[in-house]
């Protein structure tokens, strides 16, 4: 029985965070960061390498995103899986009350945590992101067989406050080091809405924003201003999808809320309206989306 449970645990983990390694389509971005001394080469054989005379402006940081995950299993199986050669992440936060943060992959190397993914015009985010895995079952075990594709808020498990403190420190460090924009600190579900739900409805994005100035959040007054039933009803599905696209989500262009589109709505709600995560676009979710696009225009 124990063995079966262990195997099941591993399988759940692999489903939660499995990754693939496909080529990327690059998009342009601008970085204002200066050349660091560590990028000077010095010499190559008998030749001197001059890194100062001609310096290009056309460059940016390779790391542009932080992606947050839960492992969907316990410490033991999370470690086992994350040190294997199948999946990995740069950072691991265990379910422990200690003061340790584990760094499993050097930050200048790719970890395999995102899989097929897309956000803000970039795909295959393993190439451009730092991945953080938090040990948590994510969804309560007795709720996992629920046929509802969109588990409600109360199906998700709380994180330990110390886990959130550790994640906050990691994100602060990475965001400062690579100058990562607020909107690019994302959930795995944001970048792969039809495959992933982690880090789930109980990951406290609002608290991180308010307490640590981490990630994006809307202004309450903007949201209230957009809480207009008439305007909401008069906005076509295509136009609402355009708003989601504008924020960064990849979503199809049909004029209906098909399953893939509802997956995107659910991912958005997990992040920004978690207590009402249903997969249905409602007035409040619409108002939050509009408020975010007002605050973070492209």
Question: Is-contact 24 123, C-beta < 8 A?
Answer: yes
Q: Is 69 in the site for Zn ion (CB under 5 A)?
A: yes
Which CB atom, from 205 or from 218, has the smaller least distance to Zn ion?
A: 205
Least Å distance, CB 31 to Zn ion, is 27
Least Å distance, CB 16 to Zn ion, is 6
Q: Which of 164, 26, 35, 190 is nearest to 101 (CA)?
A: 164
Burial degree of 41 (CB within 10 A; 0-12, 13-18, 19+): exposed
Which CB atom, from 198 or from 250, has the smaller least distance to Zn ion?
A: 198
Question: Is-contact 270 277, C-beta < 8 A?
Answer: yes
Which residue minimizes CB distance to Zn ion? 69
Which CB atom, from 133 or from 243, has the smaller least distance to Zn ion?
A: 133
Q: Is 137 in the site for Zn ion (CB under 5 A)?
A: no
Stretch near Zn ion under the rule CB under 5 A, chosen from 34-42, 62-70, 90-98, 146-154: 62-70
Which CB atom, from 137 or from 198, has the smaller least distance to Zn ion?
A: 198
Measured CA to CA, the distance from residue 198 to residue 188 in angstroms comes to: 6
Which CB atom, from 17 or from 214, has the smaller least distance to Zn ion?
A: 17
Cα dist from 138 to 142, 149, 151, whole Å: 12, 15, 11
Which CB atom, from 39 or from 85, has the smaller least distance to Zn ion?
A: 85
Residue tagged active-site, from 61, 76, 81, 133: 133
269 three-state secondary structure: helix
Q: Is 81 in the site for Zn ion (CB under 5 A)?
A: no
Measured CA to CA, the distance from residue 102 to residue 138 in angstroms comes to: 20
Least Å distance, CB 274 to Zn ion, is 17
Least Å distance, CB 72 to Zn ion, is 8
Q: For strands 47-49 and 102-103, give the pairing.
A: unpaired
Using CB under 5 A, which residues numbered 175 to 214 contact Zn ion?
188, 198
Backbone angles phi, psi at 166, to 5 degrees: -65, -45
Q: Is 17 in the site for Zn ion (CB under 5 A)?
A: yes
Active site residue 76: no
Measured CA to CA, the distance from residue 168 to residue 157 in angstroms comes to: 18
Q: Is 110 in the site for Zn ion (CB under 5 A)?
A: no
Stretch near Zn ion under the rule CB under 5 A, chosen from 63-71, 77-85, 135-143, 147-155: 63-71
Stretch near Zn ion under the rule CB under 5 A, chosen from 17-25, 74-82, 204-212, 244-252: 17-25
Least Å distance, CB 240 to Zn ion, is 26
Q: Is 243 in the site for Zn ion (CB under 5 A)?
A: no
Measured CA to CA, the distance from residue 131 to residue 111 in angstroms comes to: 7
Stretch near Zn ion under the rule CB under 5 A, chosen from 36-44, 67-75, 140-148, 169-177: 67-75
Alpha helix (H) residue ranges in the chain: 2-17, 75-82, 161-178, 188-191, 205-212, 220-226, 229-234, 237-247, 259-272, 283-295
Helix (H) or strand (E) holding 235: none
Least Å distance, CB 230 to Zn ion, is 39
Q: Which residues are catalytic?
A: 133
| Binding-site ranges for Zn ion (CB under 5 A) | 17, 69, 188, 198
């Amino acid at each position: 029985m124990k063995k079966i449970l262990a195997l099941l645990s591993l399988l759940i983990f692999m489903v939660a965070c499995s990754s693939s390694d496909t080529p990327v389509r690059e998009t342009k971005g601008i970085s204002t960061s200066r050349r660091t001394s560590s990028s000077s080469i010095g010499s190559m054989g008998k030749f001197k390498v001059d890194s100062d005379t001609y310096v290009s402006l056309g460059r940016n940081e390779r790391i542009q995103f932080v992606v947050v995950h839960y492992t969907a299993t316990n410490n033991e199986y999370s470690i086992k899986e994350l040190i294997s050669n199948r999946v990995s992440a740069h950072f691991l936060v265990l379910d422990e009350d200690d003061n340790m943060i584990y760094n499993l992959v050097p930050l200048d190397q790719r970890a395999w945590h995102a899989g097929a993914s897309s956000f803000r015009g970039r795909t295959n985010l393993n190439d451009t992101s730092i991945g953080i895995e938090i040990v948590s079952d994510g969804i309560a075990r007795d709720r996992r067989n629920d046929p509802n594709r969109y588990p409600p808020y109360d199906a998700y498990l709380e994180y330990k406050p110390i886990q959130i403190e550790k994640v906050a420190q990691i994100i602060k460090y990475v965001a400062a080091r690579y100058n990562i924009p607020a909107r690019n600190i994302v959930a795995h579900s944001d970048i792969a809405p039809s495959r992933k739900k982690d880090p789930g409805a109980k990951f406290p994005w609002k608290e991180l924003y308010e307490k640590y100035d981490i990630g994006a959040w809307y202004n309450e007054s903007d949201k209230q201003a957009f809480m207009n039933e008439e305007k909401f009803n008069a906005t076509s599905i295509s136009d609402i999808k355009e708003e989601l696209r504008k924020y960064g989500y990849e979503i199809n262009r049909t004029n209906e809320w098909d399953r893939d589109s509802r997956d995107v709505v659910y991912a958005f709600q997990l992040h920004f309206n978690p207590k009402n995560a249903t997969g249905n676009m409602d007035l409040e979710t619409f108002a939050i989306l509009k408020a975010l696009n007002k605050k973070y225009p492209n």
